[in-house]
Amino acid sequence: MFFTKQIKKKNIINIRQKKRLLTKNCKTGVVITTHGFNGIFVKQALECYIRELPDNYFIVLYINESTDKIVLDLMEKYNNDEIFKGKIQVIYIVDQLKSGGLTGTWNQGIDLCFKNNCDVIILSNDDILFDRSIINILWCCYKNKDEMKYFGPTSNNPGADYFNRCQYALSPEKYDPRLGLYKNVPCNLNGFFMVFSKNVLLANRFDNDFYFDPKYPFGGNEMEWFKRFAQKGGVSCVVPETFIYHYKLCSWRKHSKFKEKTVNDTCYIVTNLKNYKKQNRIDTLYFSNNFQSLYKSIRMGLLPMYLHSNNNSNTISGIIKNEPSLYVPGNYKKITFIK
């Protein structure tokens, strides 16, 4: 098991059973929004959803004005692939301000999910990485679909606001879900990853046209939603059994660190932790197809990157060296491999 802590608990339904039950009884909808040059990250996020979600799902990806070739190729790939017909839809937005920004894609995406008969809806950033522990939060939401509750995972980077510290962790932990609290006061969940039942989204609509207040096109949208929800007796819940790694690129912000990098910026790449010694540079990427080692890399302060391969780390390193543009974020102009 990849959980790091244990509690005494009887009759735990394992992840495989949960996944089968969710596939049979519940359809999952996912709304992802990307902007800027986040192609490597949104591609990875999509692959996570395809790999880990129960089979009964619908994903809509909104591309807000991006000219990133990797992002645009996703539209070509998924909109024209018969395998993903009815499962994945990619929509390009020419003017994101006119469309309502991030909140606009949330409102439009929720409507699309409802049209596709989804029961549980995920509002998701593009800069995330996760494993099968996502099933736990879906199961929790499904079990409580008739309650005034919505759900968030734990994360390495749940947000800059003090009250989001209730979501902080470095891996999944086998604890029961808990209320989102700061100093015993209810607080909202960070908007990078939120899970709602259909009933909750309908119960807390902003008006007849929108679920989230369009006056908050980017920041503050999840806070305004929660204030209305709390007034109706709704609560936020943190699910420690689900961990979502958050790179927190914030590319929509004017002063995003991701956009400020220069042509001389270097990233270090590690594919073997055994002999790794911490570098002075912050931006060190660790590639692996094993989430046990990815969790270890997170604790070491590395940036985890999932690369699907049935071979050893040397082969993974060779794959990256042959086509670095397919695996390394484009803002890095120099790459140094650490053996």
301 and 172 housed in the same domain: no
Q: Do the Cβ atoms of 88 and 32 come closer than 8 Å?
A: no
Is 44 contained in some domain?
yes
Q: Any alpha helices (H) in 26-145, and if so which ranges?
A: 39-52, 69-79, 96-99, 101-115, 134-143
Same domain for 320 and 172: no
pLDDT of residue 252: 39
Residue where a domain terminates, one of 215, 246, 277: 246
Residue 25 lies in a domain: yes
Cα distance between residue 153 and residue 275, in whole Å: 32
Domain range for 328 is 261-338
Residues 213, 269, single domain; the answer is no
Residues 85 and 144 in one domain: yes
Q: Beta-strand (E) ranges in the chain? A: 28-35, 57-64, 88-93, 120-124, 128-129, 149-154, 178-179, 181-182, 185-186, 193-197, 235-243, 245-246, 266-270, 284-288, 303-306, 334-338
Residues 195 and 126 in one domain: yes
Answer with the one of 192, 222, 246 that is the final residue of a domain: 246
Residue 143: φ, ψ to 5°: -65, -30
Q: What is the pLDDT of residue 11?
A: 47
* 38 assigned to some structural domain: yes
Given 188, 218, 246, which residue is the final one in a domain?
246
Check whether residue 167 and residue 308 sit in a common domain. no
Q: What amino acid is encoded at 41 in this protein?
A: F
Residue 8 within a domain: no
Tokens of 141: 């939401």
Give the pLDDT score at 253: 41
Q: What is the mean pLDDT of each run of 10 residues along the chain (339 residues)?
A: 40 84 96 94 97 97 94 94 96 96 98 98 97 97 97 92 89 96 94 98 98 95 97 98 91 44 70 81 86 95 86 73 89 84
pTM of the model: 0.91
What integer pLDDT is reported at residue 308 of this predicted model? Answer: 81
Number of domains in the chain: 2
Would residue 1 count as lying in a domain?
no
* 4 in any annotated domain: no
